[in-house]
Amino acid sequence: MKLTVLLSLVIYTTVFGVLIDGYNCKIVQFIFGDSLSDVGNNNHLSKSLARASLPWYGIDFGSGMPNGRFSNGRTVADIIGDKMGLPRPSAFLDPSLTEDVILENGVNYASGGGGILNETGSYFVQRFCLYKQIELFQGTQDLIRAKIGNTKAHKFFQEARYVVALGSNDFINNYLMPVYSDSWIYSDDSFMKYLMQTLREQLTLLHSLGARELMVFGLGPMGCIPLQRVLSSSGGCQEKTNKLAQTFNTETIKLVSELSSTLPNATFKFGDAYDVVNDVIDNPNNYGFSNSDSPCCSFGKIRPALTCIPASTLCKDRSKYVFWDEYHPSDSANQLIADEMYKKLGFKPINQTNNAAPSPVPAVAPSSDGN
């Protein structure tokens, strides 16, 4: 009898201990970014002018309804996380977000229109720039410490993976627009120094908050997005904009390498897909694309339409277009970008999960009238 009671006590203690320590077994990710990584935060900002809340956004993801992603399907962070076995983080402003959800999935703070600089994207009215996203992350940490205690929370946040993917808005929706004072206060060189100094402070702050495994996404040839092309008299890529993206990547590589070697226990990496995206744009047929200079979702001959709306016309085959709208890549392009980063950085699967992949991109899209 005593042996039975003792055995039951051992089993109970073991199971209870596993449940208590279960929070330590799951590695999650925290994502900081702009519209290329937003999964719904801006849809909950009622005054934001940068929202992916209307059809045809999300047409190839899950139910096919808008979900806050500025694409027809997945983001690059979605795809890389899936390949690593990481759960897809919930949007910070998702009403269903709780401490348990955070411990299970992590959090995505990305916000369309956001930038490294606080002033970036101000004409979108509401958006979270990187300092604000980090502030929200600090609030998240307070919640988790209250939930599981300081020791377990410390371990949870140090074991998590971190993604920082911003920068394009700091140029396209700030420095390159005359309505922003940064465009006349700074030169190309001084603006880049300002941007790098700010990013240095932000990455160092994230490290102080526990970020050890962190990846910074580089910029693609942003002078070749449809919006930049249509603003050009020739319809070609804006070479100055591309040059700024290349300089940003070069300087960020240096910064990430320095911080990774000087900050204690830091493993910071830089994800660069500039060259492959540039080659896709120049030689789309080599990668299975047929169009690399105009958006799949457009408003006829009215360009730029800026966003995809229900009255927009969709291309016949979304998988053949590099760009979904005037700003953002399609699901197929995001897959290519993610595969390139994953291969270059040599990532390995982390959690053994059974994450369901989103529905495949259909070959033929419905027309804007639903037929």
Q: What residues are annotated to the active site?
A: 35, 325, 328
Q: What phi, psi does 118 have (nearest 5°)?
A: -65, -30
Tokens of 15: 């199971």
Q: Which residue has the tokens 């092309």?
A: 229
CB neighbours of 244 closer than 8 A, spacing ≥ 6? Answer: 171, 175, 176, 188, 192, 222
Per DSSP, the residues of 243-288 read HHHHHHHHHHHHHHHHHHHHSTT-EEEEE--HHHHHHHHH-GGGGT
CB-count exposure of residue 281 (10 Å: 0-12, 13-18, 19+): buried
CA atoms within 13 A on the CB side of 61: 21
DSSP type of residue 213: E
What is the Cα–Cα distance from 356 to 88, expressed in whole angstroms? 10
Cβ 70 vs Cβ 112: under 8 Å = yes
DSSP type of residue 172: I
